[in-house]
A and B are shown apart, each in its own frame.
Chain A
Amino acid sequence: MRVAVLGAGAVGARAVRQLASTPEVERVVVADTDAERATRVAAVVGEPGRVEVGAAGSWSAGADVAVLALGPGEHRPLAQQLIEAGTSVVSLSDEVDDVRGLLDLDAEARERDRTVVVGAGFAPGLSCVLALHAAATFDVVDEVHVAKVGTGGPACARQHHRALRGEALDWRDGAWVRRRGGSGRELCWFPDPVAGEDCYRAGAPDALLLVPAFPAVARVTARVGANRRDRLTAHLPMLRPPHREGQVGAVRVEVRGRRGAARDVAVLGAIDRPAVAAGVVAAVTAVTVAQGTLVRRGAAGLAELAQPVPFLAELARRGVKAAAFEGAGTGAHPEVAEEV
């Protein structure tokens, strides 16, 4: 299989490295608006002849799958061009408008027998697969609550900054509810060493990807970790340039549902450097798309498309390991606790 990666930043570089270490991948083409950066990534990964630098106009030529690991904004038009050319797409955008635009390509992608995987990074991405895996233990899924802490490269840090001043989209009793970003503080408990972090509503696309995967779900929320300085400065331009890459981050997915007549909760999580985990998720997704082992064609998130058990097993083999919270005291989601 041949895979093209557009974007040679913190996530794109990790995706290229993962793809280059996959025996089934014959050729990886990496391209970037900064050609020097793409050349540097190809050189660092090594394997000349197998990993090549793509030219601006022809980076995706002959590729079975294209991974879009560039910043937000251009994912929808690029994906449309790619599926028209017969190439399936894996997008890592976590920007709400990008995700909406990509999901709108569902009918066209199905018609062309191609796949557009939307939000195939750390969160959304790994979070969607964890939600799907946790949901499999329930007869009925009532609620899914996602929280994420940490950022990858500079584009991810900028998106986190924008998301805190954006409008949060919650799914509540069959309708979309818009809430102010930066509101709704909740202390979320992630796997160690991240542990407890304050998380807030934000302009995150997780609910857009999770609601179609669980048709009976009553509530879906997404929160991101932030401190008071982040919230205070969210409405200002970034006061200093974003870091080249963030520290260890984490994702946590709480699924509530029913098993027979009993209500229960399952909490899954993972820790990793967000850019590393996102690169691995993107690479595994691209390989899965090329192998044709997703649940269906079309445009959707991993919660609708992935088979969670083999997907998580492959992530674990590559070093991205999920964890389950076991024992009492998982801490009811505050909005739920009010009603239970």
Chain B
Amino acid sequence: MMSFLRRSLLALGVTGVIAGVLRLRGTGGVPPQSGGWRELSAPDFR
């Protein structure tokens, strides 16, 4: 019973570490702080 518990805790710990590494790795990005998308219309096509 204790052995099963230890293994479960170890598995959970390893999973947590892997998830943390996956989440933290990579540079990510910053959402645009201002401005927005404007649909191109007729004046843009002249």
A residues engaging B (CB < 8 A)?
185-189, 191-192, 196, 198, 228, 268-269, 309-310, 312-313, 316, 321-331, 334
**In the complex, which residues 19-46 of chain B have their Cβ closer than 8 Å to any Cβ of chain A?**
22, 26-42, 44-46
CB–CB A316/B45 < 8 A: yes
A310 to B27, CA, bound (A): 39
CB–CB B37/A325 < 8 A: yes
Closest B residue to A333 by CB, please name it: B29
Chain A residues closer than 8 Å to B44, beta-carbon distance = 312, 324
Closest Cβ of chain A to B33, distance in Å, is: 4
CB–CB A187/B28 < 8 A: yes
A164 to B42, CA, bound (A): 37
Known: A310-B45, A331-B32. 12 other contacts (CB 8 A): A185-B27, A189-B31, A189-B32, A192-B37, A228-B22, A309-B45, A316-B41, A322-B40, A326-B35, A328-B35, A329-B30, A331-B31
Closest A residue to B30 by CB, please name it: A331
B residues engaging A (CB < 8 A)?
22, 26-42, 44-46
Chain B residues closer than 8 Å to A196, beta-carbon distance = 29, 31
Please judge, given known A-B contacts A186-B27, A228-B22, whether A324 and B38 are in contact too, CB under 8 Å: yes
Chain B residues closer than 8 Å to A316, beta-carbon distance = 40-41, 45
A221 to B46, CA, bound (A): 29
A189 to B32, CA, bound (A): 8
Closest A residue to B41 by CB, please name it: A316
Closest B residue to A308 by CB, please name it: B45
Closest Cβ of chain A to B43, distance in Å, is: 11
Please judge, given known A-B contacts A228-B22, A309-B46, A321-B39, whether A327 and B34 are in contact too, CB under 8 Å: yes
CB–CB A313/B27 < 8 A: no
A223 to B30, CA, bound (A): 17
CB–CB A313/B35 < 8 A: no
A and B contact pairs by CB, cutoff 8 A, 7 listed: A189-B31, A312-B44, A316-B41, A316-B45, A321-B40, A323-B39, A331-B29
Closest Cβ of chain A to B21, distance in Å, is: 12
CB–CB B33/A328 < 8 A: yes
Q: Which of A228, A327, A328 has the most CB of B within 10 A?
A: A327
CB–CB B37/A313 < 8 A: no
Contact for B32 among A313, A329, A334, CB less than 8 A: A329
Please judge, given known A-B contacts A228-B22, A322-B40, whether A327 and B29 are in contact too, CB under 8 Å: no
CB–CB B26/A185 < 8 A: yes
A228 to B21, CA, bound (A): 13
Closest Cβ of chain A to B34, distance in Å, is: 5
CB–CB B27/A323 < 8 A: no
CB–CB B34/A187 < 8 A: no
Closest Cβ of chain B to A190, distance in Å, is: 9
A53 to B33, CA, bound (A): 52
Chain A residues closer than 8 Å to B39, beta-carbon distance = 321-323
The 4 closest A-B pairs by CB, nearest first: A327-B35, A187-B29, A313-B45, A329-B33
CB–CB B37/A191 < 8 A: yes
CB–CB B45/A312 < 8 A: yes
Closest Cβ of chain A to B24, distance in Å, is: 12
Closest Cβ of chain A to B40, distance in Å, is: 5
